[in-house]
Amino acid sequence: MTRIDSTFARLQAEGRKAFVAYIMAGDPDIETSLAVMKGLPSAGVDVIELGLPFTDPMADGPTIQLAGQRALEGGMTLDKTLQMVRDFRAGDNDTPIVLMGYYNPIYSRGVDTFLAQANEAGIDGLIIVDLPPEEDDELCIPAQKAGLNFIRLATPTTDDRRLPKVLQNTSGFVYYVSITGITGAAAAEATDVGPEVARIKAKTDLPVIVGFGIRTPEASQAIASVADGCVVGSAIVGELASGKPVEEVLSFVSGLAGGAHSA
């Protein structure tokens, strides 16, 4: 079992929903993003999604695109992202870390080399948004053989014909994208999300976590109430972008986590 598997098994046994937080590695700078990352578990975060900055983030809205630009302009690299994970692991060996990004930096590094380095650093899972199931031999299968979860996205356009293909090699959890379009673009509605989560859960035993369009503790609670948990990214990244101190950002995260955990 990975840390992801263990965390969801524990939450299920406790009858609690998961709260997943996304931050961009190196935004607004390495020191600040590492400080936020280290503070996330105490703020109630069950799983950390760490964004790997990339020059062409096609699935991301302006908030996360700009975060990636800031990180890259500040000198953030794949190696420095892995070092950030090592620095986090020096004080926390329990909280799962999912690296979220695009395939190009991994392909450039070489899959086998990357997977060995990710394992050594302490990464537990991958979300690579531009690798469809048809390309599973490229990274998904090697990652699972290396002991990392490969988490797949399902969307409102993933119909019943497509869903089995999306689920076939997924592990850890299923990330349900609550809206069509890019990150941060609209608000998620529990009345829309609930039936879709039920449809997915009828086809898999994996937890279903909902992301995109969640910005408040109330929304966090509402979405978590119809799923196994929720993800917040753009709203947290926006707090960092506004220049707020680490403590205020973590207080904001704590409110969101409290919403999910009260569902």
The CA distance from 154 to 188, in Å, is 15
In whole angstroms, how far apart are CA 174 and each of 118, 171, 208, 250? 21, 7, 5, 26
Is 248 designated active site? no
With vertex at residue 34, the alpha carbon angle to CA 112 and CA 183, rounded to the nearest 5 degrees, is 75
What is the CB neighbour count within 10 angstroms for residue 113? 10
Please give the angle made by the CA atoms of 87, 90 and 91, to the nearest 5 degrees.
Answer: 110
Backbone angles phi, psi at 91, to 5 degrees: -120, -5
Select which of 5, 27, 49, 124 is catalytic: 49
Catalytic residue among 60, 124, 196, 239: 60
Can 60 be counted among the known catalytic residues?
yes
**Which sequence positions are flagged as catalytic?**
49, 60
